[in-house]
A and B are shown apart, each in its own frame.
Chain A
Amino acid sequence: MNYPVWEVPGIGTPWVIGCIAIFHVMISHFAVGGGCYLAIAMRKALKENRRDWLPLLHSHSKFFLLITGVFGTVSGVGIWFAIGLVNPGATSALIHNFVFGWAIEWLFFLVEVSSIVVFYYAWGRISDKLHLQVAYLYAVSSILTLVIINGILTFMLTPGHTWLEHASDRNLPAYFWYAFFNPTYFPSLFMRMLAMMSLAGVWALVSYSRLEQSATRDQLIRWSVTWLIPAFLLMPVVFFWYQHQIPASNWHLTQLGMATIGAGTFTQITRIALLSIMATSTIAAIAYFFAYKSPKDFTTGHALSLLFIALMATASTEYAREAIRKPFVIGSYMYSNGVRVKDVAAYRTDGYIAHSAWAPSVSSKGVKYEEGRFLFRGECMSCHTINGYRSMKHLLGDRDDKAIGNILTMLKENKPDSPYHAFMPPLATSDEETDALKYYLLSLNHKLPKNPNAPIPTPETAKSAVKVAHS
Chain B
Amino acid sequence: MDKIRAYLDERLGLEGLLEFMSHKKVPIHRHSFWYYWGGITLICFIVQILTGILLLVYYRPGQGAYESVRSITYDINFGWLIRSAHNWSASLFLFSAFTHMFSVYFMKAYRAPRELGWWSGMILLALGMLFGFSGYLLPMDDLAASATKVGMAMLDILPKVGPWAADLMRGGVTVGDPTVQRFFALHVVVLPMIFMPLLGFHLWLVQKHGNAVPPSEYDTPVEERKSVPFFPNFMIKDLAMWLIALNVIAMLASLFPFQLGEQADPLKPAPPGIHPEWYFMSAFQVLKIVGKIIPGTPGEVVGMGGFTLGLILWVLIPLYDGKTESGVKARNAHYFGLLALGVLIITTIWGYAAL
Where the two chains meet, the residues of A that have a C-beta atom closer than 8 Å to any C-beta of B are: 258-263, 268, 271-272, 274-275, 278-279, 282, 285-286, 289-290, 294, 302, 305, 309, 312
Contact = CB atoms under 8 A, between A and B. Distances in A.
Interface of B: 73-81, 236, 239-240, 243-244, 246-247, 250-251, 254-255, 257, 259
Nearest to A271: B254
Nearest to B73: A261
A282 B78 contact: no
Contact of B257 (A271, A275, A294): A271
Contact of A278 (B74, B79, B247): B247
Contacts of B239: 289
A274 B77 CA distance: 13
A275 B254 contact: yes
B240 A290 contact: yes
Nearest to A278: B250
The 7 closest A-B pairs by CB, nearest first: A271-B254, A261-B80, A260-B74, A261-B257, A278-B250, A258-B77, A275-B254
Contacts of A261: 73-74, 80, 257, 259
A258 B74 contact: no
A294 B246 CA distance: 22
A282 B243 CA distance: 7
A52 to B, nearest CB: 28
Interface of B is mostly: helix
Given A289-B236, A290-B240, A309-B247, A275 B75 contact: no
A259 B247 CA distance: 22
19 contacts: A258-B77, A259-B74, A259-B75, A259-B77, A261-B73, A263-B259, A268-B255, A271-B81, A272-B255, A274-B81, A274-B250, A274-B254, A275-B250, A275-B254, A278-B247, A279-B247, A289-B239, A294-B236, A312-B247
A275 B236 contact: no
Contacts of A258: 77-78
Nearest to A259: B77
Contacts of B243: 282, 285-286
Contacts of B247: 278-279, 282, 309, 312
A274 B246 CA distance: 13
Contacts of A286: 240, 243
Given A285-B243, A289-B236, A305-B244, A275 B251 contact: yes
Contacts of B257: 261, 271
Nearest to A260: B74
A260 B250 contact: no
B125 to A, nearest CB: 28
A302 B244 CA distance: 11
Given A275-B250, A275-B254, A278-B250, A260 B75 contact: yes
B255 A271 contact: yes
A275 B74 contact: no
Contacts of A278: 246-247, 250-251, 254
B233 to A, nearest CB: 9
B80 A260 contact: yes
Nearest to B250: A278
A317 to B, nearest CB: 14
B14 to A, nearest CB: 23
Contact of B254 (A263, A272, A282): A272
Contacts of B255: 268, 271-272, 275
A294 B259 CA distance: 43
A193 to B, nearest CB: 26
Contacts of B77: 258-259
Contacts of A268: 255
B51 to A, nearest CB: 15
A312 B75 contact: no
B240 A259 contact: no
A42 B247 CA distance: 36
A75 B12 CA distance: 60
A290 B257 CA distance: 31
Nearest to A290: B240
A288 B73 CA distance: 36
Contacts of A263: 259
A312 B251 contact: yes
B258 to A, nearest CB: 8
B238 to A, nearest CB: 12
Centre residue among A259, A272, A275, A294 by max chain B CB count within 10 A: A259
